[in-house]
Structure 1
Amino acid sequence: MSKGKAKHLVVISYDAFSEDNWEKASRLPNLSRLIKSGAFSTKLKSVYPTLTYVVHTTMVTGVYPDKHGIYHNTPLQPFIDEEEQAWFWFKKDIKVPAVYDALRKHKMKSAGILWPVTGYASIRYNLPEIKTIGRENQSLKILKNGSPFFCIALEKKYGKLRKGIEQPYLDDFTAMCGKDTIRSKKPEFLMMHFIELDDAKHHYGTDSPEIDKVLNRVDERIGKVIEAVREAGIFEETVFLVLGDHGQKNVRYKVKLNQLLKKEGLIYEEKGKMLWRAYIQSTGGSAYLHLKENDEEAKQRVLQILLKAAEEKSLGIERIYTGEELEHFHAFPVSGYMLEAKTGYCFDDSLTGPLVTDLEKENRKYATHGYSPEKPEYQCCFVVSGNCIKKEYQLGEIQMVDIAPTIAEILGVEFGPCDGRVLDEIFRMNTKVSIQKKAETDMR
């Protein structure tokens, strides 16, 4: 028998599920059942910057970005359109072990459905989140970096549900793949990534009627996963963990700070090619300042430009963070400088179009993330439920780095060192993997 609290753990990443969604989402049938039979928090604090790939890497490693090395969704690729950029798709880019590496050592089965930064990872059944750029073939790219036979089988059964990355089709595909994996593989550890809420907030804003429709659809998908666990006969031995990775903030103004650097000659064209001595890589709600190595003059010039820009209210710079402040956030030290946007503003890498775009004047709704995790009303939601978990137990503030060590504790594997801690307070006393009919009744 496993020395863990449960034999199986299903982790559902509910992308962009934040405290402003709690009131409505927590009343929906499936999530409310998990809450009643488990522990929860609306104060899960994310990491800086609050970008999906940065946060998901912290979830599975238990360390901050300054240690795991995934500092953005994408490596720096100046002057390349966002749609054509490569992302941090591959496990090799993570500088520390992940919790699924520990499971492999214990010969336990892990599975991943569209989990970020898992290309060619040590996950037994792996359908990684990877997209094509240029003329690449999507199916071949996934097969090459995932588990080929597993991916082929899921594609044959459920590929017709998907329409590229369009929603709600993509998350419907993920839900069906998750259901199938639970029933056919019964992995000890399953990670799933639902993206529709994040997409909807980006496109419609955080307070659109569309958000309520998405919350309902995601709740139905959670219900399908729970149903699959019942059908697999492992319900009483399973813990469910549902969590958000970041919030989002509505945006009125997009600011393109690289245009200031171009105006001052720090971004320039030479022989038909764009070059840079300093470059601002946006995360949406914040931005990294990149500097060419050993170019002290460029560093001094760009800091003068940015300090002056921070005095202009219309450019939306809330703070310029430097070394010690970034250490407080445990942010990855790209150059030792980051910019934080004011609420209502976001940054954009582009060199074309106006310096500041007023989206309201263009009658466009938009929201984004990437801001400091200390922004008000910006924390994430967390729900964990199962036989070993206290019922209707409310946690205070917890940290994203606490997720991996808690996963390891639930499954009974040694993992660490971590920056986070095991959330010991969620567990019932003297719980073991045992059949308790009461918990099944609680969830009905």
Structure 2
Amino acid sequence: MQRAKVFMVMIDGVSADYFANHRNRYPNLSALAENGFLVKRMRSPFPATSMPGRASILTGDSTVRHGIYGNRILVNGEFVPPQAEDVKTRTIALRAHEAGLDVACIGHALVDPEHTSVYVPPCWLRSCGFMKQGDQGARLLNVKDPQSRLAGVPLGLEATAASKPDDVSRITNFLWGDQSMIAAATALACSSDAPDLILTEVNLTDTYQHEFGYESREAHFSVAFADLLVGQITSQLARAGRLSEYAIAITSDHGHGPVHTAIYPDRVIPDAAWATEGAVLHVQVSSKADVQSVTARLSEFGVEPCDSIHVSEDDRTNICTFTAPPGHDFEAVPSSTPSDQFLGKSKHLSTHGFWAGAPFDDRICIFSGKHVPQGSCEIADETQFASTIGELLKLPKDFSAASLFEAQ
């Protein structure tokens, strides 16, 4: 059987519950689910935050194997944003590259440019996300397009990097940043030299939920915008006569859920180094006394310790993991907060990265198109997404988990 080409779109932060409850709002995603294969609940890795989710999407491995156990990982005694070279296992981009396939990464994080024919960095990596330019190697910020296959396609990266860092421009940046990445990826797929594997992201959905709340009007708008972008992909592929060549793979890196109260680790454990996004906290420790002290202090605010088996074995003895109580997250203390205040109103109205197995963190997963069987399953593990792409691309079956189709 001839291999399919694969067009993969990661839509940030769309939960399984959200899609199930509001699917009628989104005709393009619904059509793909009806005509393809729907996973009603795809689990997220723990912690269910952006970088662990992306790394598991790309590798099909658990966090302890691929090494990306948080949005910041411990490197030389400091919590820093992970880069592509920190991924310890083989990504789907590398596997496809080794098989001689043409790989294009258009704005997807944690992909090594060396494993692609065309590479465009994520817009958020260059400007308004939690990673700043100084956190990343220069090669991850540069466009790689040696054959000028994106000639004439506006990417807008320099304008993004120069935008004012206020809330309005940051939110607006995601609108046209997502649109420009999808437009570039679709232009490649419709060209005479269409890649075998395209990896891209839509990020507005996560930002709008953080800023405006789960199931807010703005959140509904953001998912509707993502749905329009998916429709743009399928309609343009159809007009170009390419739709029959591609399998469309849709997933999210994590889910989302409402929060109302922030815990300020700066105040609760002022002498400790820590990293967080959402309701999971990593704390650097050096002794049993450290562990006991940090655990006792955090417990005063309902924070629970949890096993750190998701952390790389090399770091596990130096990191303790904690989860916030329901409705809470961990945040840096705002500069104007009184010195005796340990809690406050959450900056984010919705977040992710809750306790292990939290239903909030379950996410969407849809496959549709060439060689995709029609059907559904109730629940699947995060490790099965990459192996399913591997099956469609006819790559060697040496993934850590069976594909979704094999499992059925």
Quick one: distance in 2 between partners of 1:417 and 1:66? 15
1:87 equivalent to 2:81? Answer yes
1:332 equivalent to 2:318? Answer no
CA drift of 1:290 comes to 0.8
**Counterpart in the other structure of 2:239:** 231
1:110 equivalent to 2:99? Answer no
- Select which of 10, 14, 31 maps to 1:17: 14
**Counterpart in the other structure of 1:371:** 354
Quick one: distance in 2 between partners of 1:196 and 1:134? 18
CA contact (8 A) 2:263 2:344 kept: no
Q: Which amino acid aligns with 1:388?
A: H
Q: How does 1:49-60 map to 2 (within 5 A)?
A: 49-60=47-58
**Counterpart in the other structure of 2:380:** 398
Quick one: distance in 1 between partners of 2:205 and 2:108? 16
Find the residue that maps to 1:223 and give its secondary structure. Answer: helix
**Counterpart in the other structure of 2:126:** 131
Quick one: distance in 2 between partners of 1:195 and 1:61? 20
**Counterpart in the other structure of 1:287:** 281
**Counterpart in the other structure of 1:440:** none
Quick one: distance in 2 between partners of 1:64 and 1:155? 39
**1:355-383 CA distance string (max 9 Å, x none):** 434327xxx66222222341134311111
1:300 equivalent to 2:289? Answer yes
**1:64-88 CA distance string (max 9 Å, x none):** 111111122234599x9xxxx9632
**Does the C-alpha gap of structure 1 residues 34 and 135 become closer, same or farther in structure 2, counting only changes over 3 Å?**
closer
CA contact (8 A) 2:262 2:345 kept: yes
Find the residue that maps to 2:46 and give its secondary structure. Answer: coil
Q: Which amino acid aligns with 2:305?
A: I
Find the residue that maps to 1:337 and give its secondary structure. Answer: strand
**1:20-74 CA distance string (max 9 Å, x none):** 3213245422112111211112210000111111111111111111111112223
Matched pairs, number: 385
Find the residue that maps to 1:371 and give its secondary structure. Answer: coil
CA contact (8 A) 1:143 1:152 kept: no
**1:238-287 CA distance string (max 9 Å, x none):** 1111111111222211111242333xxxx2xxxxxxxxxx4222232101
Q: What are the ranges of 5 or more consecutive residues in structure 2 without an aligned counterpart?
A: 162-169
CA drift of 1:307 comes to 2.6
Quick one: distance in 2 between partners of 1:200 and 1:160? 21
CA contact (8 A) 1:285 1:347 kept: yes
1:358 equivalent to 2:362? Answer no
- Select which of 300, 309, 316 maps to 2:298: 309
Find the residue that maps to 1:117 and give its secondary structure. Answer: coil
CA contact (8 A) 1:25 1:215 kept: no
CA drift of 1:150 comes to 6.7
Quick one: distance in 2 between partners of 1:97 and 1:76? 21
Identical columns (%): 19
Quick one: distance in 2 between partners of 1:128 and 1:157? 14
Quick one: distance in 2 between partners of 1:29 and 1:161? 33
Q: Which of 1 and 2 has greater Rg? A: 1
**1:148-170 CA distance string (max 9 Å, x none):** 44789468634289645523111
